[in-house]
Structure 1
């Protein structure tokens, strides 16, 4: 019997992906590390997915959208090739047949879009500009809709942020370096989900880049 994984959005969650054992997907040579999952093969899900060289998925539809960040290698579908660092949003009702010729690893969020969030987005973050953020942070906005924001944030060595509260929650994937707060130490590959109105006081000791989503948990509390 299937048990939902990390679907209580009031609870803070930390998953160190490199400590997890990947599990098989329905597609041959595609493995995944589930981070949160409502059902076995449908509904709300967040995962880190590895395509072995030559692996592919059958054509399929995303009823409530799909959000992807390519972590390594080259991810592809019939619309193009997406190298490491590419951010993709496929809107509700979209479909594709993904594959990877050389192999890749991607961070994927499925079936979590607002029904009116219907814009397709493809950004190669290796060529997008960094903008000044608070303190000495640099920010690369990726998407904004109805109070929900997705961005890359670059922390310079030794940067310490002010204590703050997350209205609508915060979700982080550490892309490089090591992220820290008073609750723990989070190396590259760590996924954190801090719930609505959670607080922390983060800092880094080395340059660190994180993928951040905010504002999306206030109305998703189960």
Structure 2
């Protein structure tokens, strides 16, 4: 299955375009943002758990990155509230569920093979944030291929981006007259600079930069 699978091209999905589809597990739905492969896919998705939904234990050969957007996401006896950021390295195994329901942002099969350490960050902890001018930054992960952060922009603050991917978590962004509200997803390829501006209520975004050229050169998951 190919959905926005060319990482050299711009891709945008706004909430009015969300199309939810059932996953192989009852009570779990997916909104596919990009996808390259079958059920074992390199993919970026919003995943919605109904109350009591769960997956059987399974492995992630290519790793898994998760940001909990709402509700409580659980795995292997640990419970992660909204704002939790998780990285499960290649080859890791877990048994996810949600007793109360949850919405999560998930990236699969997009890590390098040398990433070995699980990561857990509570972005609701004020100590995780640093102030930089009109933007507050919560740094989540960095290696040679990617930099990941949450950024909280004051009204009117700007982001000049290329080779970047972002999800609007709160507030909204503007690009000229185009408005990107909460849960809008944008992938901005290398080679051009895209100027985005926080709306009148500011904006909080998940931002990943530097990774698209690396992903464009990867083979499809087996």
CA distance in structure 2 between the partners assigned to 1:55 and 1:160 by the alignment: 39
Preserved contact between residue 145 and residue 214 of structure 2 (Cα < 8 Å): no
1:76-125: per-residue Cα shift (whole Å, max 9, x none)? 01140000000000000000010000000000000100111222100110
Aligned length, in residue pairs: 215
Higher strand share: 2
Check whether the contact 1:178–1:186 (CA below 8 A) recurs between aligned residues: yes
The alignment partner of 1:220 has SS state of: helix
Q: What's the CA shift for 1:182?
A: 3.1
1:190 aligns with 2:184: yes
Shift of 1:48: 0.2
**Distance (Å, rounded) in 1 between the aligned partners of 2:177 and 2:165:** 15
- The answer to whether structure 1 residue 180 and structure 2 residue 196 are counterparts is no
Q: CA deviation at 1:148?
A: 0.9
Cα separation, 2, equivalents of 1:61 and 1:183: 43
TM-score, structure 1 normalization? 0.92
Give the SS at the match of 1:218.
helix
Deviates more, 1:200-209 or 1:92-101: 200-209
Cα distance in structure 2, aligned partners of 1:183 and 1:36? 25
Pairing partner for 1:100 from 95, 98, 101: 98
Residue 20 of structure 1: CA displacement? 1.5
Query: For residues 113 and 129 of structure 1, what CA distance do their matches in structure 2 show?
Result: 23
Alignment of 1:68-147 (within 5 A): 68-127=66-125, 128-133=127-132, 135-147=133-145
Matched with 2:164 is 170
The gaps in structure 1 that reach 5 residues or longer are: none
Q: Which runs of 5+ in 2 are unaligned?
A: 218-222
Output the aligned Cα RMSD. 1.5
- Report the Cα distance in structure 2 between the residues aligned to 1:87 and 1:165, rounded to whole angstroms: 22
Q: Which residue is equivalent to 1:199? A: 193
Which residues of 2 match residues 149-164 of structure 1 at below 5 A? 149-161=147-159, 164=160
Correspondence list, 1:48-63, <5 A: 48-63=46-61
Relative to 1, partners in 2 of residues 1:165 and 1:175: Cα closer, same or farther, differing over 3 Å?
Answer: closer
Distance 1:18 1:55 in 2: 25
Instruction: Give 1:64's match in structure 2, choosing from 47, 62, 67.
Output: 62
Note the C-alpha offset of 1:18. 4.6
Q: What pairs up with 1:10-49 in 2 under 5 angstroms?
A: 10-49=8-47
